[in-house]
Structure 1
């Protein structure tokens, strides 16, 4: 078993993919209102929302436990509709040396495909792959989609 890995999950959404991308690229502080069971807050620590280099602090619940992730916005690609965050502090770094999370929305065609990827390096062989985070982001994605569906 290696210490580095990559996990990817994809799901189709029925709502506007541009809106989904905009939420993570410029309005992550709105996410908690759409998925409060998963995300309790996203606070700006440094910089500006929507700007590369900014640092945000996510408060989230995973497996019933309140957790925190401090992330730097590494890249925002408007053309490809992707946002990349690098974890620079918080609970994840207790088990992982590095974690980079990318959310990408493919808006070509009738469906909008959301892809989440987690690139990581474990601190040691005893650390399990972060598969529970895939469940978290899929649940978040469904909640955001439901929030934007016509009532």
Structure 2
């Protein structure tokens, strides 16, 4: 039995959280709640527990004010183009419904993927956000997700 029920949230710290939240809104379409007044911009994703529909599970993605300067990553800062994870201390994985459409949207705004990959069970791409953090974009294949859920 797992003692962990799921991921409650992912928190990205930025020296300028409003600017970074605006980047995620413009480039990835995330509509944040919260504001600088509350010290965080956040989006809450909610799903029912398949084993107990009365139990609601939520995951929060938040951008919060950093308490000290945050090192910025750059595209060519000693990380090979084909290294999907880079050398940063964390990476956020965002699930998407249509990776090709999102990448076309990003391309129109001058954001190119660092890499794309087809792992059979899912499609992946990696980009740098407005602070230079590597972000993984993940489109699961429906068949693979259903098989995993039934296993």
More strand by share: 1
Higher RCO, 1 vs 2 (CA within 8 Å, ≥6 residues apart): 1
After TM superposition, is the score higher than 0.5?
Answer: no
Which TM-score applies when normalising by structure 2? 0.32
- Larger-Rg structure: 2
TM-score of the two chains, using structure 1 as the length reference:
0.32
